Amino acid sequence: MQRHMTPEEFREHGYSVIDWITRYMEEVEGMDVLPVVSPGDIGNMLPDTAPESGETFGQLLGDLDRIVMPGVTHWQSPNWFAYFPANVSGVSILAELVSAALGQQGMLWSTSPATTEIELKVLDWLVDLMDLPQGWKSSGAGGGVIQMSASDSTHTVLVVARHQNRFRASATDMVVYVSDQAHSSIEKGCTIAGIGHCVKVDVDDAFALDPAALRSLIQQHIAEGLTPIAVVSAIGTTATTAVDPVEAIADIAQEFDLWHHVDAAYAGTAMVCEEFRFHQPALERVDSYTFNPHKWMMVNFDCNVLWVADRAPLIDTMSILPAILSNTAPDVGDVVDYRDWHVPLGRRFRALKLWWVLRYFGAEGIRGLVRDHVALADSFAEWIESDDRFELFAPHPFGLVCFTHVDGDEATRALADALNATRQVAITPSVIGTTSFIRIAIGQTNTEEVHVEALKTLIDKLS
C-alpha cells in the first residue's frame, strides 16, 4: 500500500516532470495548435473506476503523452491567435510549483502572513507600474486583491453595489448598465447578485458605449421607478477591444451616484506602457478596476487583480466573522484579512507567481513584450488594409486585429474555418449584429514576426 511519496522519490519524479515540461516548451512550436478529438475520446481512455492499488509515477507520466496530449489545445504555441492569450512563463510555472508545495491558506493574515503581505506589496507596485490612482494602494483608502478571474471580481463588486443600495430599493428594481459589447460576466454577475436589470447600452461605430444613450436610459429608468446602481466601462471589449469613454461615463456615474467598475481584463497589461494610458482617463473617479495578469503578463492562469478605490464598502459587504476565524492579530497591528475581500474563504499563494514574474522580467521586459505584440498587430493590420480582398472591421488599439472578407459573411466564415482546419494556427471567428469577422489576437509570449508572416501566407493561400 502506497501512502507517501518520500522526499527522495519526489526529487527523482520532480526532475522527470521538469524534463517533460522543458521538452514541451521546446516542441510546442512545431505541434499542430488544435487537437483532433471528438467528444468522449479522452474520457473513454480512462477506466470507469478509480484504481484500488497505487500505480507507479512512470505510469502517470506516460499517460500524459498517451491520454492528455492528444486532447490539448496549444495555448502556449506561438501560432496561437485565438480568443486572447493565456500566457505562462517558466518563472511563473516554477512559482506555481513552490506555491503548491507550501500549500498556504491565506484567508487571514495570521494563517499566512507572507501570502498577504507579498500580495499587498506587489499590487501596490502594479499601481505605480500602470500609473493607477495612488489612493488604490494599501496605504490609501482602497486596495488590491488577487482573485481567480475577472468574472469573480466583477461579480464581487456588483454584490457590493447591491449591498450598498439595499435600504434604497429592492434588488429586483436595481439596474446595472453596460455596453452591448460588454463581457457576459457582467450579466452573469447581475444574475448572481439578484439584480433585476442588466441593461445593454448602444455603442458607436467603434463599438464603444454611447454616453448619451446611457444618460437617457438612466433618466428613463428613474422615471419608471427603477433604481440605477452601477455602470461598467470596458477598456478592451472581448470581441474587438473597443474602449468605452471612461471619463464621460465617470461624469454620468457621479451625477447619478452609480458604482463605476472598469473591466480591463485583457488590455490592463498594456497600461505598463505610458502610450496606452490615454485610454483610461479619470480613473481617480472610478470605484473599482479589474485586469488579468493571466492573459498578457506571462503569469499562469489563474491570476486576476481587483482594485477598489475604497475598501470599506467591500469589507462591509463580505465580512462575516465565525468564532473559528477570530484571532488576535488585528489587535497587535494593522492587518488585512483577505477573506473579507472576496467570496471564497480559502485562498492560495497566487501573489508568488506575480511577484516572481515582475522581478524576473522587470517592468521593461513586460513593456517590451506588449510593444512587440502591438507593433506586430499594427503591421498585420496594414497588410489587411493593403489587400483588396479584406477590410478591417474595427480599430485595433492593442494586439487584436479584426477583419472581414470583402465577399461577405460566407467568405469570412469559410476563411476562418479553413484557417482552423489547417490546425497550424488557431484563430477565433466572431459575429457582431449580422456581420461575421475574424479575430487575430497577437499576444502569445513567443509569437514573433516569423509566425505572423506564416499566418499571412496561410490567409493569402486560403482566401
Binding site for ligand PLP (CB under 6 A): 84, 149-151, 183, 185, 234, 236-238, 263, 265-266, 292, 304
Q: Which is nearer to ligand PLP, 305 or 415 (CB)?
A: 305
| End-to-end CA gap in the chain | 60
Least distance CB 173 / ligand PLP (angstroms): 26
Chain centroid, CA 72 distance in Å: 20
Distance from C-alpha of 311 to C-alpha of 440, rounded to nearest angstrom: 38
Q: Cell numbers of 432, please?
A: 457582431
Least distance CB 204 / ligand PLP (angstroms): 18
Q: Which is nearer to ligand PLP, 154 or 165 (CB)?
A: 154
- List 304's β-bridge partners, or say none: 147
Task: With H, G, I as helix, E, B as strand and everything else as coil, classify residue 416.
Answer: helix
Q: Which is nearer to ligand PLP, 179 or 227 (CB)?
A: 179
Q: Cell numbers of 284, please?
A: 481617480
Q: Helices 184-193 and 150-164: crossing angle, nearest 10°?
A: 40
Q: Which is nearer to ligand PLP, 227 or 238 (CB)?
A: 238
Q: Which is nearer to ligand PLP, 106 or 189 (CB)?
A: 189
- List 401's β-bridge partners, or say none: 440
Distance from C-alpha of 248 to C-alpha of 244, rounded to nearest angstrom: 9
Least distance CB 450 / ligand PLP (angstroms): 27
Q: Are 313 and 164 in contact, with CB atoms under 8 Å apart?
A: yes
Q: Which is nearer to ligand PLP, 232 or 419 (CB)?
A: 232
Distance from C-alpha of 422 to C-alpha of 305, rounded to nearest angstrom: 36
Least distance CB 207 / ligand PLP (angstroms): 12
Q: Which is nearer to ligand PLP, 239 or 309 (CB)?
A: 239
Conformation bin of residue 122: beta by default, left when phi > 0, alpha when psi is -120 to 50: alpha
Least distance CB 217 / ligand PLP (angstroms): 21
- φ and ψ at residue 205, rounded to 5 degrees: -65, -20
Strands 174-179 and 143-147 come out as unpaired
Q: Which is nearer to ligand PLP, 183 or 342 (CB)?
A: 183
- φ and ψ at residue 255, rounded to 5 degrees: -60, -40
Q: Which is nearer to ligand PLP, 233 or 317 (CB)?
A: 233
Least distance CB 290 / ligand PLP (angstroms): 8
Strands 227-234 and 174-179 come out as parallel
Least distance CB 259 / ligand PLP (angstroms): 17
Place of cell 453595489: 161
Closest CA to 153 of 303, 44, 355, 273: 303
Distance from C-alpha of 463 to C-alpha of 422, rounded to nearest angstrom: 13
Q: Which is nearer to ligand PLP, 244 or 340 (CB)?
A: 244
Q: Which is nearer to ligand PLP, 317 or 428 (CB)?
A: 428
Distance from C-alpha of 411 to C-alpha of 415, rounded to nearest angstrom: 6
Least distance CB 241 / ligand PLP (angstroms): 8
Conformation bin of residue 241: beta by default, left when phi > 0, alpha when psi is -120 to 50: left
**3-class SS shares of the chain: helix, strand, coil, % to 5:** 50, 15, 35
Least distance CB 166 / ligand PLP (angstroms): 26
Q: Which is nearer to ligand PLP, 86 or 376 (CB)?
A: 86
Least distance CB 105 / ligand PLP (angstroms): 22
Least distance CB 86 / ligand PLP (angstroms): 9
Give the E-state strand segments of 207-258 in sequence order: 227-234
The Cα-based distances of 194 to 154, 230, 281, 286 in angstroms read: 14, 14, 31, 23
Evaluated on CA atoms 450, 456, 460, 463, the torsion sign reads positive
Q: Helices 409-422 and 449-462: crossing angle, nearest 10°?
A: 120
Least distance CB 209 / ligand PLP (angstroms): 13
